[in-house]
Chains A and B, each alone.
Chain A
Amino acid sequence: MIGKREIDNFSWGLIAVIFLLGIVSTSTIYSALAGDPSGAGAGFALKQAIWYCAGFVAMLFISLFNYRILEKWGYAVFMACLLMLVAVLLFGKLVAGSRRWLDLGVFALQPSEFAKIGAIIVLAKYYSISMTVQGYNMRDLFAPVLLMLCPFVLILVQPDLGTALLIGFISISITLFVKVEKKTLIISVLCGIVVVISAWFFLLKEYQKQRIMTFLNPEHDPLGSGYHVIQSKIAIGSGMLFGKGYLKGTQSHLSFLPEQHTDFIFSVFTEEWGFVGAVTLLVLYMILIAIGLNIANNSRDHFGTVLCIGVLSMIFWQVFINVGMIMGLLPVVGVPLPLISYGGSSVLTTLIGCGIILNVGMRRFSNS
């Protein structure tokens, strides 16, 4: 399975970036919770490190097998993800009004995270079989849209708007990448507008509408969801050029920030490391994506290329939405910062995705 050629083509650069992000993640989680009198900081950082190790093992494990078996098993993987999503709705743990976690005793899994990978594999399979130069028309897109609606709706009813939208973003990115007919594109955009408008009136919960309203007009609800963004902006802004120093962030330690170790972790990091740190972190992500795109470019088949594009779009959109949201550029939706935010399922999913990219890179020349 692994020969000299595979090892030669192993992307050590990708591993290095992931390693650096892992250090940033655990140290920032520790810092974010250091002010907590219960001493939870160390515990959470340690747990995150353990998840990182588990993710690393999963990543290496996935690069052992030729990624093309994913094409064969694509529908099975996707079905398994859908079943997990149904299970979470039936037996999921209710946390703050949402059912997102499956309690497995020792730890809890968030199936919606894994559904992203399932969606990427299924789309890659579908598109690589039927690639066209002139682009897809309406009829070609019917099946993928139907497929993607399943996880989208199942996640939306949890309710988890952020992850559901992300599935949408990933699917659209992949589809645009493989090219859509111009006419189809225009009609789709128009349909999209209709869907968004009707979703606003019939689908979105009041608090979700409020978050979007808050984004469009920050003065709308400074006491509710706007409060978090105000505090987050103060934390980020007060970091200035070089930051306040590690463990010296005042905003985040005083628990002004909500969920400072999960969705708002970038504020904690940026308050302590300043503009220099934040840009460095963003550059790390850019390097990761660039390495990935290079692998996609050199892939020996379309399935591999589209797989890479899917995983990379997942990482890109999460970074863009998460960082944009906590800087007040985008509405507040629950999207973790990949590989940095605290959370086992998220780390595991992203590292599994990276494993797929590694796998494609390793087998750029192999025939079996």
Chain B
Amino acid sequence: MVNLLRGPDSDWFKNRINRAMLVVVLGFLILMSRLFYLQIAEGDNFRKLSENNCIRKRTVTSPRGIVYDRNGIQLVDNRPSFDLQIIPQDARPVDSTIQKLSDYLGIPVEEFRAPLEKSKGSPSYKPVVLKKDIGWDLMSAVEVKGFDLPGIQVAVKQRRFYMEESVASHLLGYIGEVSQAELDNESLSEYKSGDSIGKAGIEKSFEKILRGKRGEELVEVNAAGMVVKVINSREAGPGDNVYLAIDVNLQKRAEALLAGKAASLVAMDISTGQILVMASSPSYDQNLFIGGISGPEWKNLVTNPLRPLENKVIQAEYPPASTYKIITAMAGLEEGVVDRNTSFFCGGQLKHGDRYFRCWKKGGHGQVDVIDAMAESCDVYFYHVGQRLGVDRIAWYAKAAGLGQLTGIDLDHEEKGLIPSSIWKRQKKKVPWHSGETLSISIGQGYDLTTPIQMLGVIAAVGNGGVRLRPHLLKMVKAPDGEVVYESKPEIIGHLPVSQANLQIIKDGLFEVVNTKRGTASIARLPDATMYGKTGTAQVIGRKGDGPERFADDQKPHAWFVAFAEKEGKPGIALSVMVEHGEHGSSGAAPIARDIIRLYFDGEGEDSPNTNDKSVDGNIESPELLIF
């Protein structure tokens, strides 16, 4: 019709269709000749291959990268371990094979049934692990009886091994079998079920570096599943080795000092931000996790009131107590509400409205200026400063110093803490800020919550002239051939909001804390290193009345001590020590810090004196914020 009129004639079109048919016939001839080649010419070969069934792909696990401390001392290793496997297809009949296996090894058959049951639905040529990490004796028994156990094999796997049980466990973390949730995660698409993956600590944070490349082998097997020849293989590439900033000697000493307590110690090189020690107590043995932790063992860990699984350095939040006076002093000086010479009288308490806010020292400190107030941790002085500042100005300085926010350390699951402000309270608690609460805040009590690593950040910045560095654990990464592929550099994340002149005043105060008789941490003084610090005693429960200070063990206040120290020839070190229910910052935490500093500078350290011995120093600070 219409179309025919405007187009070419039909003969021309016929011609095109014939050509199309020609193309089609040609195409099918190509396919058929290929079929002929595969099925007739080469058919015999392929038939043989298929009968032996034949070519299989096996994965070869790659050794995970090794973890060292800053001085090259090995913390983690891989050791070969042996898994007993069955390939159901080769082991037919499966039931009699596992019965024989059970007889030879003396292991009840039921133990093998469970994993087989679980693997139902997966292809029968895929190995099923019957028993993980069998010993040499079982392995050799299987090898000897191999001829009688078709489809049974022993696979060599690399297993993680933590050289010193429980040392730095929070930091190192552990690995485990990749979970279904992780397999579903798109960014982890290269993992297959059964693979290991870092679950916590640096094993998790540095998974990509440590993991290495999976190897694969294409093998020809015979009817019993024995490898006849390796057709092709891609070698497994070991992961890169990680050098942590940690000094394992310091770490061990710190852990020994914290033993038996719920406590933490974290120390940093103030010039680089490298974390030298990160100890959290009590610890746990990561080796427990390797073969899969047992139910009772897990229950023990999670129900322990001392929370062994928590990395208290980055996850535990406490009121900063008197260590927070650094912030209040900084805000007061910078905002001009006090200067070096401003002094207040401390008579042991301050009346605010109709309430009395007490100083920890009942009799009062008398007339004190900012240096005295820091040295003796006078609460009344800081109540005055807080009154003049108001909560929001204090909060601004605290946040600018890095409190109430993540430090960005290279570990997962860091907690933020809390720095309250009037807006925060209106939004969260639906009530206006109460001016009395500002007094609590100015001595680090009330809603204030910080983590030990945040306080470390503050004290380290005071120590290095006001530069806030990102704390980090990774010092260096080396490829398996020894080539350095990454080296950490100091990363500046901000500056303390303080002038150098005012920073000097704060430093002078912190110097007096340690180096004068009246200072609350005079116990921590070292003869040949210059040390600055601030104690803190965070109350756990409100104290009633005036009675003698006697607390049940789990109601004793928490002990804080933050410090930095300098000595010629070595970079300065900053520390943050927190001992839960340690009672006094001065006696419970400061001596621990002193020990670590001494070991750091001199390579030696003494056992700390009995930290409960209050007679060492007359200046024992008591918990602050005693309101009545």
Contacts and interface: CB of A to CB of B under 8 A. Distances in A.
Contacts of A131: 3, 6-8
Given A132-B8, A329-B34, A238 B50 contact: yes
A210 interface: no
A9 to B, nearest CB: 17
B121 A223 contact: no
A323 B31 CA distance: 7
Interface stretch (A14-22, A85-93, A192-200, A226-234): A226-234
Nearest to B124: A254
Interface string A91-117: 000000100000000000000000000
A237 B127 CA distance: 27
A297 B14 contact: yes
A223 B232 contact: yes
B485 interface: no
Contact of B21 (A222, A234, A293): A293
B73 interface: no
A348 interface: no
Nearest to A367: B1
Contacts of B2: 301
Contacts of A286: 24-25, 28
A50 interface: no
A36 B234 CA distance: 30
B36 A275 contact: yes
Contact of A250 (B30, B50, B55): B50
A275 B1 contact: no
A21 to B, nearest CB: 15
Interface in B20-67: 20-21, 24-25, 27-28, 30-32, 34-36, 38-40, 42-47, 49-51, 53-55, 57
B216 interface: yes
Nearest to A327: B34
A327 B30 CA distance: 11
A251 B39 contact: no
A278 B37 CA distance: 13
B38 to A, nearest CB: 4
Given A235-B50, A250-B53, A316-B24, A270 B39 contact: yes
A296 interface: yes
A220 to B, nearest CB: 11
A18 to B, nearest CB: 18
A240 B89 contact: no
A237 to B, nearest CB: 3
Interface in A165-185: 177-179
Nearest to A36: B121
Interface in B266-321: none
A278 B39 contact: yes
Contact of B1 (A177, A234, A289, A300): A300
A299 to B, nearest CB: 9
Contacts of B51: 238, 250
A251 B218 contact: no
B12 interface: yes
A303 B43 contact: no
A219 B232 CA distance: 9
Task: State the main secondary structure of chain B at its contact with A.
Answer: helix
A47 interface: no
A367 B28 CA distance: 36
Nearest to B189: A97
A279 B231 contact: no
Contacts of A255: 123-125
A353 interface: no
Nearest to A323: B31
Contacts of B30: 324, 329
Size category of the binding interface on chain A: 35 or more
Contacts of A178: 16
Given A222-B231, A250-B50, A286-B28, A302 B7 contact: yes
A256 interface: yes
Contacts of B50: 234-235, 237-238, 250-251, 271
A340 to B, nearest CB: 14
B105 interface: no
Contact of B17 (A219, A254, A256, A293): A293
A316 B26 CA distance: 11
A305 interface: yes
B43 A240 contact: yes
Interface string B610-622: 0000000000000
Nearest to B9: A133
B344 to A, nearest CB: 65
Contacts of A271: 50
A35 B234 CA distance: 30
Q: Could you say which of A133, A234, A279 has the most chain B C-beta atoms within 10 Å of its C-beta?
A: A234
A103 B395 CA distance: 51
A177 B35 contact: no
A37 interface: yes
Given A37-B121, A237-B39, A279 B232 contact: no
Given A255-B123, A327-B38, A133 B43 contact: no
Given A222-B231, A223-B57, A293-B21, A303 B3 contact: yes
A186 interface: no
A74 interface: no
Nearest to B120: A37
Contacts of B35: 236, 270, 275, 278-279, 282, 327
A178 B13 CA distance: 9
Contact of A324 (B34, B53, B55): B34
A222 B218 contact: yes
Nearest to A308: B17
Interface in A231-271: 231, 233-241, 250-251, 254-256, 270-271
A255 B174 CA distance: 35
Contacts of A49: none
Q: Could you say which of A36, A38, A278 has the most chain B C-beta atoms within 10 Å of its C-beta?
A: A278
Nearest to A71: B3
B144 interface: no
A320 interface: yes
Contact of A234 (B7, B54, B123, B232): B54
Contacts of A297: 13-14, 17
B119 to A, nearest CB: 10
B501 interface: no
B114 interface: no
A250 B50 CA distance: 7
A67 to B, nearest CB: 13
Given A233-B38, A238-B47, A254 B123 contact: yes
6 contacts: A231-B55, A233-B38, A238-B43, A256-B53, A256-B55, A275-B35
Which 6 A-B pairs give the minimum distances between C-beta atoms?
A: A237-B46, A238-B50, A255-B123, A131-B7, A240-B43, A301-B3
Given A279-B35, A302-B13, 14 more contacts: A35-B124, A97-B189, A237-B50, A238-B43, A239-B39, A240-B44, A250-B53, A255-B124, A256-B53, A256-B55, A271-B50, A293-B20, A303-B3, A320-B31
